[in-house]
Amino acid sequence: MNFQNTLQFARGLDELDPLQTFRDRFFIPQHSGRDAIYLTGNSLGLQPRTTADRIAEELEDWAQLGVEGHVHARRPWLKYHEFFADGMAQIAGALSSGVVMMNGLTANLHLLMVSFYRPTPERYKIICEAKAFPSDQYALQSQLRFHGYDPKDGIIEIAPTKGAHTIDESQIYAAIDAHAHEAALFFMGGVNYYTGQVFNMRAITAYARERGILVGWDLAHGAGNVELHLHDWGVDFAAWCSYKYLNSGPGAVSGVFIHERHHGQRNIPRFEGWWGTNKDRRFLMEPAFDPIPTAEAWQLSNAPVLSMTPLLCSLELFQEAGLERLRAKRDQLTAYLEWIILEVGREAGDSFEIITPKSASERGSQLSVLLHGRGVEVFNELQKNGVIADWREPNVIRMAPVPLYNSFEDIQRFAGIFKNALKNSTPHD
């Protein structure tokens, strides 16, 4: 498509957008009396307008029923986590029995590694990406140390080659080949949080598994953003948070995927709690754990109802919008933003580098822009003028137009503010 940097053109695209009305179903943060240009849905998704009423229903049920709400609330709390399974499974490309919402993301990574990182003196290494999200690095390092291994030797990092920003798929296969005899686990972000690069999870999973390595993906930037078929791809486990693309509010509950092949196993090492045991016998308070033959076996506690409710509202919107339509709009919005950034840069005589891959199959909503010769002063100007984006040292701006609530008009308004930001800040060497 030939894009144009005019309001009329952008509004034309919005009029053709079958998802245009979904924006009105979110609260859009305000700046100087009008909608801010919110490009950080990859960091914290916006609030669906139904959220407060839904939480109020739970509060009302609690007020009126007390403990009886476990059974008699309009959404009985005893099985609250079950209300998320179908919607979440659709987004994860999983069977409903393969997903469960619980805990926080990093906590879940640890719980999953208890089961799926089982090092032996011959096979104890973990293959991952260099500069993984810090929490993931800490989780991997501490798991190695917990088992008595040295992370310096036990973590195999795959880094972009010199001068590159993204990792070539061939490097991943080379690393798997080189460490096939000594790696216990392959674990990476399916979508890199910094560059927005999306990895070929299907092919990589198959490649590592064929070599006897278990495979886990961190999908913090994948869930609700990119197409996932975790079950069909044969992924052993995955985890994600629901406050980024899944719009469930700060610190909201995390999701996990565990492949069917691991369900119902009694001998798998696992940290267990009463919400993982046979539901029919749970309240008999028997001493022996009888694992639910689904991903629920990994659940420890009863669901944090009040903090999970927003996810119900969000999953309904995903369901209604349809994942295919969301992805089609995502690609068009992202392409428009890419074009706008390069066009405004060109007009200003600046050369910006978008370090996110160009191909739609290797990226989702996010674009990461390297501001050669520019720095935080550009970002500060954007912020002052109502653009909410994300700054990473030394000079990268991350932006994610989200198809559920961002508009083409947002992107075009961004263009004007970006242009002024470049004008009002001085380049440096």
Ligand X SMILES: *Cc1c(COP(=O)(O)O)cnc(C)c1O
Binding site for ligand X (CB under 6 A): 104-106, 133, 135-136, 189, 193, 218, 220-221, 241
Crossing angle for the helix pair 305-321 and 323-348, to the nearest 10 degrees = 90
H/E stretch holding 76: none
* Beta pairing class for 30-31 and 34-35: antiparallel
Task: Please say which residue, 19 or 102, places its beta carbon nearer to ligand X.
Answer: 102
Helix (H, G, I), strand (E, B) or coil at 392: strand
Determine the straight-line distance between the first and last CA of the chain, rounded to whole angstroms: 35
Task: Please say which residue, 192 or 332, places its beta carbon nearer to ligand X.
Answer: 192
Structure tokens at 120: 């032996």
DSSP code at position 385? T
Rounded to a whole number of angstroms, the minimum distance from the CB of residue 356 to ligand X is 15
Task: Please say which residue, 76 or 104, places its beta carbon nearer to ligand X.
Answer: 104
Nearest residue to 158 via CA among 122, 131, 190, 185: 131
Rounded to a whole number of angstroms, the minimum distance from the CB of residue 109 to ligand X is 8
Rounded to a whole number of angstroms, the minimum distance from the CB of residue 172 to ligand X is 17
Q: How many CA atoms lie within 13 A of 19 on its CB side?
A: 25
List the beta bridge partners of residue 215.
Answer: 186
Rounded to a whole number of angstroms, the minimum distance from the CB of residue 59 to ligand X is 25
Alpha-carbon distance of 273 to 258, in angstroms, equals: 17
DSSP code at position 29? P
Task: Please say which residue, 73 or 201, places its beta carbon nearer to ligand X.
Answer: 201
Among left, alpha and beta (phi > 0; psi -120 to 50; other), residue 148 is: left
Rounded to a whole number of angstroms, the minimum distance from the CB of residue 151 to ligand X is 17
Phi, psi of 365 (to 5 degrees): -80, -20
Task: Please say which residue, 133 or 408, places its beta carbon nearer to ligand X.
Answer: 133
Rounded to a whole number of angstroms, the minimum distance from the CB of residue 254 to ligand X is 6
Assess contact for 110 and 143: CB atoms under 8 A. yes
Helix (H, G, I), strand (E, B) or coil at 133: coil
H/E stretch holding 57: helix 51-65
Rounded to a whole number of angstroms, the minimum distance from the CB of residue 271 to ligand X is 17
Nearest residue to 334 via CA among 196, 212, 173: 196
Task: Please say which residue, 133 or 149, places its beta carbon nearer to ligand X.
Answer: 133
Task: Please say which residue, 121 or 250, places its beta carbon nearer to ligand X.
Answer: 250
Rounded to a whole number of angstroms, the minimum distance from the CB of residue 358 to ligand X is 22
Task: Please say which residue, 106 or 385, places its beta carbon nearer to ligand X.
Answer: 106
Alpha-carbon distance of 220 to 241, in angstroms, equals: 5
Rounded to a whole number of angstroms, the minimum distance from the CB of residue 205 to ligand X is 17
Task: Please say which residue, 133 or 233, places its beta carbon nearer to ligand X.
Answer: 133
Structure tokens at 130: 């260099």
- Residues whose CB falls within 8 Å of the CB of residue 109, separated by 6 or more in sequence, listed in order: 135, 136, 139, 218, 239
Task: Please say which residue, 97 or 205, places its beta carbon nearer to ligand X.
Answer: 205
The total number of residues shown for the chain amounts to: 429
Rounded to a whole number of angstroms, the minimum distance from the CB of residue 221 to ligand X is 5
